[in-house]
Amino acid sequence: MINISRPNLGDEEKNAVSKVIDSGMIACGEVVKEFENTFAKFAGASFGIATTSGTTALEVAIRAAGLGEGDKILTTPYSFIASSNAIMYTGARPVFADIEEGSFNISPEHIESKLKQTPGIKALLIVHLFGNPCDMDKIMTIVKKYKLILIEDCAQAHGTTWKGKPAGSFGAVSAFSFYPTKNMTTGEGGIVLTSDSEIAQRARMLINHGMQVRYYHDIIGYNYRMTNIAAAIGLCQLKKLNDMNGKRIRNAKFYYENLKNSALILPTHTDGHVYHQFTVKVEDGMRENFTKFLEENKIGYGIFYPLSIPEQKCYSAMSFETSYQVTDSVKNKVVSIPVHPLLTLEELNEVACVINRYKK
């Protein structure tokens, strides 16, 4: 079986975790601080606030940016549900704008028409889906024109760049996830990044029960603190990230050169894409046939995502508009194939040969 993802953990991580355990300081401490500073620097932000997950990082990012009850936040209907759930937790409400067929990312044209249709939208939450950067030239123009607060969901975009500038450095605030399937992991974990000292301070308070002085709680916060154990893994992973992303890009390049099957549409390549996923499209109605073929040939795959967010059952009571032309077409065609850094050349070859043999 060639798996769709596999965390790349080894002796470095084991030793780093051992060191933390031996130190006796396993909860949030100096190692977390070092990880926050190192990761923030890597992604071009002044401040990093590490959290328990990408989801909690997003929630804190939204709250720390001053958004909450009753605010409207424009976002994509085509993502992992956390990007929208994080909005819901704060009492704000998502407004969805359709995506682009080629990049799978929220469409600047649809953003602008939604802004014109819907008065009072305060913020825009973008997702660099599958590691592919959103068109930040167009997005930043809209953000300035409509004076929006920009939040970046970089849960799939560690190391993603747009014209050389890192994802996570464009918005007022951004959030990353370190779940094991992502481009780097801490087990579970996340981080909020910002270069705004006030947002950073609010985020810091939110993740630590609203405290600046111990046992003096200025606001109702949470315990969303990362542990030193997780941070120690994160520091090792961050050292390997460039190399791991390089392998993902190499693997994607292999597919662009070697996948030759007219039943498949390959993803569009953008510079700065780090291929969290390599997502192909098959003809509408043929997906089950294709995935069955992959299963028979022991090739792992993922369907990211089978439903749009607004049509999920948990959103059904909230009367969101549920039809989005591009999203609805794409969601029935996508299949992500293994592109992770631990794939060997033999495995890549095997995936390509199997897929090239597929006949609809």
Ligand X SMILES: *Cc1c(COP(=O)(O)O)cnc(C)c1O
- Residues at the site binding ligand X, with contacts judged by CB under 6 A: 53-55, 79-80, 82-83, 127, 153, 155-156, 177, 179, 190
**Residue 185 CB, nearest distance to ligand X (Å)?**
9
Q: At how many degrees (to 10) do helices 228-258 and 11-23 cross?
A: 170
Q: How far is the CB of 211 from ligand X (least distance, A)?
A: 23
Q: How far is the CB of 53 from ligand X (least distance, A)?
A: 4
Structure tokens given for 91: 């009492």
Nearer to ligand X, 179 or 301 (CB): 179
Contact 327, 77 (CB under 8 A): yes
- Which CB sits closer to ligand X, 241 or 264? 241
Cβ at position 41, least distance to ligand X in Å? 21
**DSSP letter for each residue of 186-244:** -SS-EEEEES-HHHHHHHHHHTBTTEEETTEESS---B-BPPHHHHHHHHHHHHHHHHH
Residue 318 has a CB neighbour count (10 Å cut-off) of 10
Nearer to ligand X, 98 or 153 (CB): 153
**Residue 93 one-letter amino acid:** R
Q: Which residue is nearest to ligand X (CB)?
A: 54
- State in angstroms the smallest separation of the CB of 104 from ligand X: 11
Query: Is the Cβ–Cβ distance between 4 and 300 less than 8 Å?
Result: yes
Of 83 and 237, which CB lies nearer to ligand X in the complex structure? 83
Order across the sheet with 93-96: list the strands: 47-51, 190-194, 173-177, 149-153, 121-127, 72-75, 93-96
Comparison of 57 and 355: residue with beta carbon closer to ligand X: 57
CB of 106 to ligand X, least distance (A): 12
Residue closer to ligand X by CB (options 192, 264) is: 192
